[in-house]
Amino acid sequence: MANAKPAVWIPRVLSQATLERAARDYEVILNEADTLSSAEDIVAMSARVDAMIPCHSEIFSADVAARLDPRLKIIANHSVGVDHCDLAALKARGVTVTNTPDVLSDATAEIAILLMLGAARRAVEGDRIVRSGGWSIWSPSFMVGKQVSGSRLTIVGMGRVGQAVARNARGFGMEVHYHNRRRLDAGKEHGAIFHDTLEGALGVADFLSLHCPATAETKGLMNAETFALLPDGAVVVNTARGALIDEDALIAALESGKVSAAGLDCFVSEPGGNPAFAAYDTIFMLPHIGSATVRTRDAMGFRALDNLDAFFRGEVPRDSL
């Protein structure tokens, strides 16, 4: 490390271990209030620091990128997703951008499985009935759901998280299908069935789990036309990004029965989610907590710091985008 420590802005409260390591090696400006930062906040801070460790909640649009102070050299994201960053605009300004792949795959896959099970087995409704004191009957026809084990699961986006979901799904004896830009090497497929078209993959999706990044191409991937391709009564899970789903089309698909239930950890509008979803017991919702475990938060923070350390040693960080 050079004598004068580089200055780093941390706009959200990261794990204690991350903050301690950051404070050891850098001059840290921490937003202890843990509030959302505006474009103006980000631009103003760029004149005071050499680096930032933002989360997906801080938006680096083309407009923000154009207004950044040249002092800012690196944005070491504390996230794997980088749809909050206009990468081309940041590159044009000479700002290095990194992310935190790998380390959150297992935690996010766990949440995908939780959502899949909870949606399929009517967890919202069941919890509400018991919690409210309204559980007055039991019958073989009471709260019958859709069985996960032995069903077909389609994964769209077979990257690290998708592969972790496939690993877990195999434990339930699910038949795994996937659609991805490229077919995986045979050694990584573990029997998963590749579909070179989205249409083909959706046609067998008794359960559908989305794991692709939000880009111009994937925005609204699930819409009225693509929901129509699913088998009747499909269960849809999204732990990737809200933008992948046209939320009005999802409601229409739930109303028609094309989709029997959904499990969502992310929404078009965050924080907050879609208030219209609250009327549906068939939607099992969580507030974007896919990677929210102690171990994974530490690992994400350390990976972001590893990228910063490499950059300030004059190396290309391993997760440079």
Residues designated catalytic? 241, 270, 288
Query: Judged by CB under 6 A, which of 12, 56, 73, 211 binds ligand DGY?
Result: 56
Binding mask 148-177 for ligand DGY (x = CB under 6 A): ------------------------------
End-to-end alpha carbon distance in the chain:
23
Instruction: Tell me how far CA of residue 161 lies from CA of 86, 102, 105, 144, in angstroms.
Output: 23, 8, 4, 30
H or E element: which one contains 188? helix 186-189
For position 55 contacting ligand DGY by CB under 6 A, the verdict is yes
Site for ligand DGY in 280-309 (CB under 6 A): 290-291
User: What would the two tokens of residue 190 be?
Assistant: 């573990």
Closest CA to 255 of 280, 275, 230: 280
The piece of 30-38, 45-53, 64-72, 79-87 that touches ligand DGY (CB under 6 A) is 79-87
- Euclidean distance between CA atoms 260 and 237, whole angstroms: 11
Region binding ligand DGY by CB under 6 A among candidate stretches 24-32, 74-82, 153-161, 249-257: 74-82
277 within 8 A of 283, measured Cβ to Cβ: yes
Pattern of binders to ligand DGY over 83-122, x per CB under 6 A?
A: ---------------------x------------------
CB atoms within 10 A of CB 195: 19
Choose the stretch contacting ligand DGY; rule: CB under 6 A; options: 78-86, 126-134, 226-234, 250-258.
Answer: 78-86
Of 79 and 274, CB closest to ligand DGY? 79
> Please, what is the minimum distance in Å from the beta carbon of residue 290 to ligand DGY?
6
> Which residue in the block uniquely carries the two structure tokens 């706009």?
11
Three-class DSSP category at 285:
strand
Residues that bind ligand DGY (CB under 6 A): 55-56, 79-81, 104, 290-291
